[in-house]
């Protein structure tokens, strides 16, 4: 009696053998990745496939990461200079809002998913990467601790000339972190429209207001 081998098994074996014996060029790998991405990701609700498109900063940083080498100093400087120009400063000149609202924004990771409505208010999801308040026991460590952020930087009055540099840097970092670190992993919450100007003001207050629990 002849032994029947399922066709699918034969096909899988041939593919595996091909993978072991054939190398793939970088161009072919990029093409294959693009095809897989196109077939695997689809727009749904407010989550569009356009999110997968990299801007120049992302492209250069990704390439450096794959190569396992830091960006050349001149390239990093060019990215930071370009990103710095995108920062939009408060339209009314006021940097701080309500620190209590800022805490709620920092706690919230809601928004921007396919099941959310376009007019939904997004959260900042700040605790996903940072410690901020000592009362919060669940937080990420990808980013530095922000507890006592303003206090450690000597900000006793956010409206004073002495605090100006810290306040403006903090706003810029929240708006577009790549203006200060070319390949920063921090979301560009203002630049990419994740948070509104009013929300950023409230997060600023959470970090810098001397009355905020963060600075107690």
Confidence of residue 25 (pLDDT cuts 50, 70, 90): confident
pLDDT at 136 over 80: yes
Secondary structure class of 80 (helix, strand, coil): helix
pLDDT of 22 reads 54
Answer whether 0.85 is exceeded by the pTM. Answer: no
Task: Tell me, rounded to whole angstroms, the distance of Cα 6 from its chain centroid.
Answer: 47
Domain boundaries defined on the chain: 46-216
Phi/psi at 62 (nearest 5 deg)? -65, -40
Give the confidence band of 42 by pLDDT, cuts at 50, 70, 90. confident
CA–CA dist 91, 141 (Å, integer):
33
Classify domain 46-216 by CATH number: 1.10.760.10
In contact, 213 and 152? CB cutoff 8 Å: no
Kindly report the average pLDDT of the chain as a whole number: 86
Tokens in use for 165?
């540099």
As a whole number, mean pLDDT of residues 125-135 equals 93
- Residues 122-126 have a mean pLDDT of 92
| Whether residue 150 has pLDDT greater than 90 | yes
Q: CA 216 to CA 212: how far, in whole Å?
A: 7
Indicate the range of 17-21, 40-44, 109-113, 135-139 predicted with least confidence: 17-21
pLDDT in the model for residue 23: 66
For residue 105, count other CB atoms closer than 10 A to its CB. Answer: 25
Report the C-alpha gap between 186 and 182 in whole angstroms: 11
């Amino acid at each position: 009696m002849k032994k029947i081998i399922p066709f699918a098994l034969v096909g899988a074996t041939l593919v595996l053998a091909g993978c072991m014996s054939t190398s793939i060029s970088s161009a072919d790998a990029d093409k294959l990745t693009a095809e897989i991405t196109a077939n695997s990701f689809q727009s749904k609700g407010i989550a569009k496939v356009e999110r997968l498109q990299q801007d120049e900063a992302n492209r250069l940083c990704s390439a450096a990461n794959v190569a396992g080498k830091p960006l050349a100093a001149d390239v990093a400087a060019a990215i930071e200079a370009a990103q710095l120009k995108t920062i939009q400063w408060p339209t009314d000149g006021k940097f701080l809002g309500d620190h209590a609202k800022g805490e709620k924004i920092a706690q919230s990771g809601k928004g921007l998913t396919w099941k959310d409505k376009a007019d939904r208010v997004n959260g900042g999801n700040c605790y996903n990467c940072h410690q901020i308040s000592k009362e919060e026991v669940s937080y990420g460590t990808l980013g530095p601790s922000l507890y006592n952020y303003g206090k450690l930087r000597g900000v006793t009055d956010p409206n004073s000339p002495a605090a100006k540099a810290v306040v403006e840097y903090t706003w810029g970092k929240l708006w577009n972190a790549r203006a200060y670190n070319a390949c920063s992993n921090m979301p560009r919450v203002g630049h990419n429209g994740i948070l509104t100007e009013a929300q950023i003001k409230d997060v600023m207050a959470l970090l810098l207001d001397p009355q905020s629990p963060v600075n107690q």
